Amino acid sequence: CKVAGSLYQCSLLATSETLSCVSGLFWLREIDRIMIGVGDTPATCLYQIHCRKEHTLTLTQSKVADMYGEALTSYRTRNWGDAWTRFEQISDTMGDPTSFVMKERCLQLINIAPPRRWEPIWCVQRNVPYVPPQAVNSTEVEAEPETSS
């Protein structure tokens, strides 16, 4: 998770596999779904650990986590414009560096227009979006949004 920590600009990260050992003990924020290795490595969820549950999250931590979750939902459903706006708001008003990283990623995805089979998984070692092998070989192209004239 050291590479992921520098990629997402936050500390105390853990995968869902690691957290299964300490389930329910910490306040967490889901950061992203990632693939750490290459090839057939399964994707995993990445979480930021805030503090133990016997402590209370600050109002800011709680608000950032809620807003980030909404932005992440937009990101995962390919609504990158909305996700960008939400991540920008969190980054600018709350000073969350992870949201800045995700905001920049939204711009990247808007510009490359991944195939329909794109999955919301980030390849950490290569710092690129994961595209399933069948989508890489596919000739499918995203349809341009209709514009009203």
Higher pLDDT, 78 or 114: 78
What is the C-alpha separation between 10 and 35, in angstroms, rounded? 18
Q: What is the pLDDT of residues 84-101, one digit of tens each?
A: 999 999 999 999 999 999
The chain-wide mean pLDDT, for the chain, equals 82
31 and 44 Cβ atoms separated by less than 8 Å:
no
Residue-level pLDDT at 2: 61
The pLDDT assigned to 3 comes to 64
Which DSSP letter does residue 38 get?
Answer: S
- pLDDT > 90: percent of the chain: 42
Per-residue confidence band for 118, with pLDDT thresholds at 50, 70 and 90? confident
The pTM of this model reads: 0.79
What pLDDT, on a 0 to 100 scale, did the predictor assign at position 30? 93
pLDDT tens digits, 129-149: 777 766 444 444 444 443 343
CA distance 48 to 138: 35
Tokens 């510009």 correspond to what residue?
111
Between 4-8, 17-21, 67-71, the lowest mean confidence (pLDDT) is in 4-8
Q: How far apart are CA 106 and CA 49, in angstroms?
A: 24
pLDDT band at 40 (very low <50, low <70, confident <90, very high): low
